[in-house]
């Protein structure tokens, strides 16, 4: 292990508080306590995505995680944006996007959508609940956390992890005081979490992104996007990462909270079959296209985030209860076909085999 890599690896173990530099990616909406606890029990860092969770659910989830593992885990939040509230979007904007979804809500037996008081819970309340839950790590997407937020997290003894899709975003996160950065290439499943430029202009692949981020920042770099087996892990370390964050390969396992039909489709999806679309949430995300995406794209009416996510969310929750894959958000990355293992335990063992000697704390 080169001298620099050795130093950085130690730094990452200190930042995350775990011996094995494998992070389970958070899955907003489909995170699983069981899966996160399993990864933490194995010596990695289990993360839980709290997107859309109000404070009381955050407290409950943290208690469940604590019951599942005594080891460190991460809680993940989406930073707020000056995005529309039901009030600023207006009745007309809401109705137009809702009308485009009407055939699907009728089909699912749901009535027409009435605008809620808010599309997402208040961030300040979420952050308070996260701080009270005392996780080892708080990770963020969609921006640089405010200085006061970083300070408050550090004050409770937790580390802050930010997420970058470009070199400039990684540099901005480091300047904002985060302790480590997830650099996520455009292969990754789920949302493109870009915040400095449009997501469409921030589509750097993992192979090009990791070494350039590693050159640009002194904080440890966690590679994400397209890593699904020992080869991907070994490559990430060779490129200058000191850890990996894996989503799709874990999402496919029996311990994940994704509906069975979603899990089954993951290893059946060829790398060129996933697409980037704004149809589901108003923000760009990678997944397998289905009838819902095609219908929304054809309508040409997509409300901005988070309105669109709220509108499709009602439908997706109903579709999930019926395990109806044509009306779910089938988020997955370009390495989906590599996700052949059905047990999270086996995925962890496979990934661990790619860690270079000396890189575990």
Ligand X SMILES: Cc1cc2nc3c(=O)[nH]c(=O)nc-3n(C[C@H](O)[C@H](O)[C@H](O)COP(=O)(O)O)c2cc1C
Q: Footprint of ligand X on this chain (CB under 6 A)?
A: 25-28, 30, 49, 51, 76, 141, 163, 184, 187-190, 224-227, 245-248, 251, 331-333, 335
158 phi/psi in degrees, rounded to 5: -100, 160
Tokens of 186: 């455009």
Cα 115 to Cα 16, 83, 88, 103, 125, distances in angstroms: 40, 15, 12, 18, 21
Name the residue nearer to ligand X (CB basis): 115 or 194.
194
State the minimum distance, in angstroms, from the CB of residue 226 to ligand X.
Answer: 5
State the minimum distance, in angstroms, from the CB of residue 194 to ligand X.
Answer: 12
Q: Residue with CB nearest ligand X?
A: 247
Q: Residues of 304-337 as b/e, b for ≥16 C-beta within 10 angstroms?
A: bbbbbbbbbbbbbebbbeeebbebbbbbbbbbbb
Sign of CA dihedral 331, 99, 291, 320: positive
State the minimum distance, in angstroms, from the CB of residue 27 to ligand X.
Answer: 4
Q: Taking the CB of residue 140, how many other CB atoms lie within 10 A of it?
A: 23
Name the residue nearer to ligand X (CB basis): 39 or 98.
39
Residue with tokens 């949302």: 191
276 phi/psi in degrees, rounded to 5: -100, 125
Name the residue nearer to ligand X (CB basis): 115 or 248.
248
Return the closest-CA partner of residue 193 out of 148, 156, 235, 224.
224
Name the residue nearer to ligand X (CB basis): 77 or 167.
77
Asked whether the beta carbons of 281 and 70 are under 8 A apart, the reply is: no
Name the residue nearer to ligand X (CB basis): 304 or 333.
333
Sign of CA dihedral 163, 167, 172, 175: positive
Instruction: List, in sequence order, every beta strand (DSSP E) within the chain.
Output: 22-24, 46-49, 73-78, 137-141, 159-164, 180-184, 190-191, 221-224, 243-246, 275-277, 285-287
Name the residue nearer to ligand X (CB basis): 74 or 98.
74
Q: In what order do the strands lie in the sheet with 275-277?
A: 190-191, 285-287, 275-277
CA 341 to mean position of chain CA atoms: 20
Name the residue nearer to ligand X (CB basis): 40 or 248.
248
For the CA atoms of 289, 233, 252, 104, the dihedral, rounded to the nearest 10 degrees, stands at -20
State the minimum distance, in angstroms, from the CB of residue 26 to ligand X.
Answer: 4
State the minimum distance, in angstroms, from the CB of residue 274 to ligand X.
Answer: 10
State the minimum distance, in angstroms, from the CB of residue 99 to ligand X.
Answer: 27
State the minimum distance, in angstroms, from the CB of residue 153 to ligand X.
Answer: 16
State the minimum distance, in angstroms, from the CB of residue 2 to ligand X.
Answer: 25
Residues written for the chain: 361
Name the residue nearer to ligand X (CB basis): 115 or 259.
259
State the minimum distance, in angstroms, from the CB of residue 285 to ligand X.
Answer: 8
Name the residue nearer to ligand X (CB basis): 152 or 283.
283
């Amino acid at each position: 292990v080169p001298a620099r890599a050795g130093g950085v690896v130690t730094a990452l173990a200190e930042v995350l508080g775990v011996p094995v530099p494998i992070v389970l990616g958070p899955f907003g909406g489909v995170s699983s306590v069981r899966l996160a606890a399993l990864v933490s029990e194995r010596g990695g860092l289990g993360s839980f995505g709290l997107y859309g969770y109000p404070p009381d659910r955050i407290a409950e989830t943290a208690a469940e995680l604590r019951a599942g593992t005594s080891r460190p885990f991460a809680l993940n939040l989406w930073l707020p944006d000056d995005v529309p509230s039901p009030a600023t979007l207006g009745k007309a904007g809401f109705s137009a996007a809702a009308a485009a979804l009407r055939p699907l809500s009728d089909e699912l037996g749901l009535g027409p959508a009435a605008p809620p008081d808010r599309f997402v819970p208040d961030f300040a309340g979420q952050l308070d609940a996260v701080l009270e839950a005392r996780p080892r790590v708080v990770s963020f997407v969609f921006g640089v956390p405010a200085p006061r937020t970083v300070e408050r997290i550090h004050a409770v003894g937790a580390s802050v992890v930010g997420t970058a899709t470009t070199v400039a975003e990684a540099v901005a996160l480091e300047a904002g005081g985060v302790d480590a950065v997830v650099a996520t290439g455009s292969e990754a499943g789920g949302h493109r979490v870009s915040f400095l430029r449009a997501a469409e202009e921030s589509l750097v692949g993992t192979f090009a992104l990791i070494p350039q981020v590693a050159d640009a920042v002194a904080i440890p770099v966690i590679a994400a996007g397209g890593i699904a087996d020992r080869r991907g892990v070994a490559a990430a370390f060779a490129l200058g990462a000191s850890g990996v964050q894996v989503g799709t390969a874990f999402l496919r396992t029996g311990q994940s909270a994704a509906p069975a039909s979603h899990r089954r489709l993951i290893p059946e999806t060829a790398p060129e079959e996933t697409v980037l679309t704004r149809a589901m949430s108003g923000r760009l995300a990678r997944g397998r296209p289905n009838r819902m995406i095609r219908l929304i794209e054809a309508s040409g009416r997509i409300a901005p985030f988070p309105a669109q996510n709220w509108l499709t969310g009602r439908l997706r929750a109903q579709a999930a209860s019926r395990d109806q894959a044509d009306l779910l958000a089938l988020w997955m990355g370009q390495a989906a076909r590599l996700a052949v293992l059905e047990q999270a335990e086996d995925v962890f063992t496979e990934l661990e085999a790619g860690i270079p000697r000396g890189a575990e704390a």
